[in-house]
């Protein structure tokens, strides 16, 4: 039996897809078979029934008022075995969950966006665990972000005098502004373009997404489209960048890579460190 993984946020769609893929063992050739799905998940207070992940296995909910007692019991049951956590919950509970993981000694992958990220990272650094915290788990999109980060750090102010437009579209259930879009705005700021994250245009209306933006109908319930337009002062130069993701598979695969990375760090005895998906890409 391998490392136990508790996927929190069930029956949310990202959490469900991560849990299902871990349970399936489809990535065994890459080492993911060493992960074993915990049959419990931190949920909201509204979740009372068991959650089906696959045909024959229910995951039991652990509501907020039960978590201290239930996690203590799970740690006794799995004594001597590492328990990793994956968080795909909601922005308003990000920091509370991170504090819980730190107090309970549960290394985690934080896939949920929002919350106070600086406070989250500070809490991990003041703890005895390690974590992977990233606003975007898609490795290819993260690689693109790394390119922009390099450009911003190497050529600060290169786009002074330019204006910026940023749009992002996600499924209606996504409550917060895209963390990826926020990160990209920071890079453009360093490149000399003034722009506030509050000015990001968010789209959550399926009618607009399908008929005006062109999001495929079958992906209205799960997509991440981003567009950035830079215009020069005299509007004689215009640059367009976009990255569109349909479905959740790429995020799920990135989450599993983050878990594998996290497992190595735990086995190396590391504590009090926060890693990003760029670290996961580098494999350092």
Nearest-angstrom CA–CA distance, 99 and 76: 20
243 part of the active site: no
Tokens of 105: 């000694």
**Catalytic annotation, pick one of 170, 182, 219, 260:** 170
- b/e map 22-50, b = 16+ CB within 10 Å: bbeeebeeeebeebbbbbbbbbeeebeee
User: Residue 242 to residues 44, 157, 228: CA-CA distances in angstroms?
Assistant: 35, 21, 6
- Look at residue 57 in the predicted model and tell me its pLDDT: 65
226 part of the active site: no
CATH of 139-246, one of 3.10.20.30, 3.40.640.10, 1.10.357.10, 3.30.360.10: 3.30.360.10
Domain boundaries, given as residue ranges, for the chain: 3-133+249-282, 139-246
**Catalytic annotation, pick one of 23, 139, 174, 223:** 174
User: Residue 284 to residues 143, 146, 148, 152, 172: CA-CA distances in angstroms?
Assistant: 15, 15, 20, 23, 36
The pLDDT tens digits for 34-65 are 789 999 999 988 887 888 887 656 899 999 99
Q: Does domain 3-133+249-282 have CATH number 3.40.50.720?
A: yes
Which residues of the chain, if any, have pLDDT below 50? 31-32
The pLDDT tens digits for 79-107 are 888 899 999 999 999 999 999 999 999 99
- Average per-residue pLDDT for the chain: 93
The pLDDT tens digits for 16-27 are 999 999 988 765
CB 38 within 8 A of CB 6: yes
- Look at residue 26 in the predicted model and tell me its pLDDT: 63
- Look at residue 90 in the predicted model and tell me its pLDDT: 92
Nearest-angstrom CA–CA distance, 43 and 97: 11
What residues have CB less than 8 Å from 68, skipping those under 6 apart? none
């Amino acid at each position: 039996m391998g490392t136990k993984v508790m996927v929190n946020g069930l029956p949310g769609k990202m959490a469900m897809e991560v849990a299902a893929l871990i349970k399936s063992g489809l990535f065994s050739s890459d080492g993911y078979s060493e992960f074993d799905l915990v049959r419990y998940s931190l949920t909201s207070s509204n979740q009372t029934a068991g959650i089906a992940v696959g045909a024959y296995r229910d995951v039991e909910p652990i509501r907020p008022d039960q978590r201290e007692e239930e996690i203590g019991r799970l740690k006794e049951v799995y004594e001597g075995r590492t328990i990793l956590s994956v968080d795909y919950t909601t922005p308003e509970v990000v920091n509370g969950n991170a504090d819980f993981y730190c107090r309970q000694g549960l290394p985690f992958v934080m896939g949920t966006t929002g919350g106070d990220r600086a406070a989250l990272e500070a809490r991990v650094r003041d703890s005895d665990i390690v974590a992977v915290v990233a606003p975007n788990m898609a490795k290819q999109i993260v690689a693109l972000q790394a390119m922009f980060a390099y450009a911003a750090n190497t050529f600060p102010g290169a786009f002074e005098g330019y204006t910026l437009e940023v749009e992002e579209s996600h499924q209606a259930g996504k409550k917060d502004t895209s963390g990826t879009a926020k990160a990209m705005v920071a890079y453009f700021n360093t490149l000399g373009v003034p722009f506030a994250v509050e000015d990001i245009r968010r789209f959550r209306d399926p009618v607009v997404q399908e008929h005006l933006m062109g999001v495929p109908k079958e992906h209205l319930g799960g997509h991440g489209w981003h567009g950035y337009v830079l215009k020069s002062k005299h509007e004689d130069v215009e640059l367009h960048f976009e990255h569109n993701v349909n479905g959740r598979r790429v995020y799920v695969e990135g989450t599993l890579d983050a878990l594998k990375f996290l497992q190595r760090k735990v086995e190396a005895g590391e504590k009090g460190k926060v890693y990003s998906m760029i670290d996961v890409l580098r494999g350092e």
